[in-house]
Amino acid sequence: MSYKQQVAEKIASALVNLGVEEFSAEKVRDMLETPPNPAMGDIAFPCFQLAKALRKAPPMIAGELAGQISGAPLSQVQAVGPYVNVFLDQQSVAKEVVGTILAKGSAYGDRNIGQGRHVPIDLSSPNIAKPFSMGHLRSTVIGNALANIMEKHGYKPVRINHLGDWGTQFGKLIVAYKKWGDEEKVKAEPIKELLQLYVRFHEEAEKDPTLEDLGREWFKKLEDGDEEAKRLWQWFRDESLKEFMKIYELMGVHFDSFHGEAFYNDKMDRVVAMLEEKGLLVESEGALVVPLDEYDMPPCLIKKSDGATLYATRDLAAALYRHETYDFAKALYVVGGEQRLHFQQLYKVLEKMGFEWAKEMYHVPFGMMLKDGKKMSTRKGKVVLLEEVLAQAIADVLKVIEEKNPTLVNKEAVARQVGVGAVIFHDLKNFRLNDINFSWEEMLTFEGETGPYVQYTHARACSLLRKGGYQPGEVKLAEGSLDSKEAWAVITLLNSFPEVIDRARENFDPSQIGKYVIDLAQQFNKFYANVRILAEEDAIKASRLQLVAAVVVVLKEGLRLLGLQAPEEM
């Protein structure tokens, strides 16, 4: 049980003694605050909400309440104005926290909330035959981090790469390839060559609008199963996927399913039939829609007037398939914020169809990746390629290693871990709904709020353990070994790690962990700068090294949840 929970139970029990029964331990826990200054205590309870029930001024209530609260793990309780300030017993808390972390290792913070139930996560989903740009990075790394967080709490994530492998653009691409393509060039550099063909198609179509009709014609052939159209489509898909896999491998991201849009082609008629059966379809200007007036939403378009199905039809088919295949506890869609209405409509249509499980489907939106403050565009060829960014980041880190630590073993492997980690962390330290401006300088510095800074702190802590000859064993903290304010700041942060993971899961927000590992790295570096860790006295040195070992465990696990590796030397 966390210390916050223990304090909450003591306060709830004291409130009952004062005649207030409507404040449960859970309610009290939600009201607890961290004082702005550590000298004011470790946990504070504001008494404003009690004034009505007790008909007294909050400072008077705080005074009465403080007198009712005592016992381990508390060392002192004070009333300061309208607040009850609680000080924890630092020695016993330090021993408990460090001991728990060293005993559990990477399992610290594990919970079995999910009980092995599936959580399909729709992430990454690049378009076939188009480059994997920095714009795709966000869905990939946010979705992968959420999968790791869900797994930590006992769910079975199913990482689904819902590839953009269908649509009129394939008709356009087939036309472009037949007119200007070169098989050898496509085999040599698939994405680059296919993108050039796609961009050229749009340039030429501006001069010759009949190309657009030709593109639609070839997509119709593909839909009707034309052999040549199918063969080219399959080839574009296979070659693209090979290129994408190189990037995923570099980033340490794996998938359980590559069922893209095309997979649901034969599953949409069933959806239309079900909607008809339930009397939900209405004709509107020749098209078939599901009205959503009762939710103040525009109607959900299911079939166009020419009989073509749409994204909504496909996503309804995908939702049904995923529920029938995985019987999920929750289903997450890590897709940009501009798709918000689409998902709201999707869930409401499923609810109208009578599927209760639609209430457990969540759109996890995120802001845009901007370049010089502007959105990136594939069609205009204005795009920053993720592969090039990763390669550049790795090269830049390798240069720093050659300058600062040329004798480092496995230089290339470390440069890869730090370079790729820098790119991932630059995204995940930000709250997902915020837009991010792509910045080399901000991403790759070894100082401040960056991945390399956190990784370097981890490597520094590992180096201390090696220098100090740290031996894992029973946690015995020598008197006075961890009584500095710097050590206590590290211990209280270590203690809060499980709560941080809880918040990250509940809010689908990996940045909670991103911000946390930065805070922990900063506090540890203050401890390192102000306290002689490798002290002369063996018992004190051993105690401080045990705290360092606990920091290593938590930093490594925090980075792992975000999808980063933690080098032991840098």
Classify the phi-psi angles of 373: left when phi > 0, otherwise alpha if psi is within -120 to 50, otherwise beta: left
Q: Which of 88, 110, 128 is the last residue of a domain?
A: 88
Tokens coding 139: 């869905």
> pLDDT tens digits for 299-331?
999 988 776 668 899 999 999 999 999 999 999
On whether both 354 and 424 belong to a single domain, the answer is: no
Which residue from 550, 564, 562 is spatially nearest to 101, judged by alpha carbons? 550
On whether both 193 and 340 belong to a single domain, the answer is: yes
Measure the CA–CA gap between 457 and 517, rounded to whole angstroms: 10
On whether both 489 and 396 belong to a single domain, the answer is: yes
Tokens coding 505: 């899961």
Does a structural domain hold residue 364?
Answer: yes
Q: Are 251 and 420 in contact (CB under 8 A)?
A: yes
Does a structural domain hold residue 107?
Answer: no
On whether both 128 and 53 belong to a single domain, the answer is: no
Residue 198 sits in a domain whose CATH number is 3.40.50.620
Measure the CA–CA gap between 570 and 561, rounded to whole angstroms: 21
Q: Which three-class secondary structure state does DSSP give residue 286? A: coil
The range of the structural domain enclosing residue 129 comes to 118-265+326-370
Q: What is the pLDDT along the chain (570 residues), one digit of tens a residue?
A: 688 889 999 999 999 988 888 899 999 999 999 998 888 999 999 999 999 889 999 999 999 999 999 998 999 999 999 999 999 999 999 999 999 999 999 999 999 999 999 999 999 999 988 888 877 899 999 999 999 999 999 999 999 999 999 988 899 999 999 999 999 998 888 888 998 999 899 999 999 989 999 999 999 899 889 999 999 999 999 999 998 999 999 999 999 999 999 999 999 999 999 999 999 999 988 889 999 999 999 999 998 877 666 889 999 999 999 999 999 999 999 999 989 999 999 999 999 999 999 999 999 999 988 776 677 655 555 667 888 889 999 999 999 999 999 999 999 999 999 999 999 999 999 999 898 887 777 777 778 899 999 999 999 999 999 999 999 988 889 988 998 999 999 999 999 999 999 999 999 999 999 999 999 999 999 999 999 999 889 999 999 999 999 999 999 999 999 999 999 998
Q: Which of 336, 370, 404 is the last residue of a domain?
A: 370
Does a structural domain hold residue 202?
Answer: yes
On whether both 423 and 354 belong to a single domain, the answer is: no
The CA–CA distances, whole Å, from 364 to 367, 461, 477 equal 11, 35, 44
Q: Are 25 and 8 in contact (CB under 8 A)?
A: yes
Measure the CA–CA gap between 65 and 60, rounded to whole angstroms: 9
Report how many domains make up the chain. 3
Q: Which three-class secondary structure state does DSSP give residue 84? A: strand
On whether both 259 and 164 belong to a single domain, the answer is: yes
Does a structural domain hold residue 383?
Answer: no
On whether both 466 and 414 belong to a single domain, the answer is: yes
Q: Which of 50, 71, 88 is the last residue of a domain?
A: 88
Does a structural domain hold residue 112?
Answer: no
Measure the CA–CA gap between 432 and 445, rounded to whole angstroms: 22
End-to-end CA distance of the chain: 37
To which residue do tokens 């609008």 refer? 209
Q: What is the pTM of this model?
A: 0.92
Q: What angle do CA 107, 137, 451 make, to 5 degrees?
A: 50
On whether both 32 and 62 belong to a single domain, the answer is: yes
Residue 76 sits in a domain whose CATH number is 3.30.1360.70
Does a structural domain hold residue 231?
Answer: yes
Q: Are 44 and 66 in contact (CB under 8 A)?
A: no
Residue 476 sits in a domain whose CATH number is 1.10.730.10
On whether both 78 and 124 belong to a single domain, the answer is: no
506: exposed, middle or buried (C-beta count within 10 Å: 0-12, 13-18, 19+)?
A: exposed
To which residue do tokens 């290693």 refer? 401
Measure the CA–CA gap between 182 and 191, rounded to whole angstroms: 13
Which residue pairs, CB below 8 angstroms and at least 24 apart, start in 33-36?
Answer: 35/83, 35/85
Predicted pLDDT at 535: 84
On whether both 432 and 480 belong to a single domain, the answer is: yes
Does a structural domain hold residue 309?
Answer: no
DSSP string, 401-457: HHHH-TT-TTHHHHHHHHHHHHHHHHHHTS-TTS-EE--HHHHH-SSSSSHHHHHHH
Q: Are 64 and 53 in contact (CB under 8 A)?
A: no
Task: State the Cα torsion 28-33-35-40 to the nearest 10°.
Answer: 10
The CA–CA distances, whole Å, from 421 to 247, 251, 439 equal 13, 8, 15
On whether both 65 and 159 belong to a single domain, the answer is: no
Measure the CA–CA gap between 308 and 404, rounded to whole angstroms: 60
Does a structural domain hold residue 284?
Answer: no
> pLDDT tens digits for 504-536?
999 999 999 999 999 999 999 999 999 999 988
Measure the CA–CA gap between 91 and 102, rounded to whole angstroms: 17
On whether both 406 and 554 belong to a single domain, the answer is: yes
Tokens coding 521: 């790295």
Q: Which three-class secondary structure state does DSSP give residue 288? A: strand
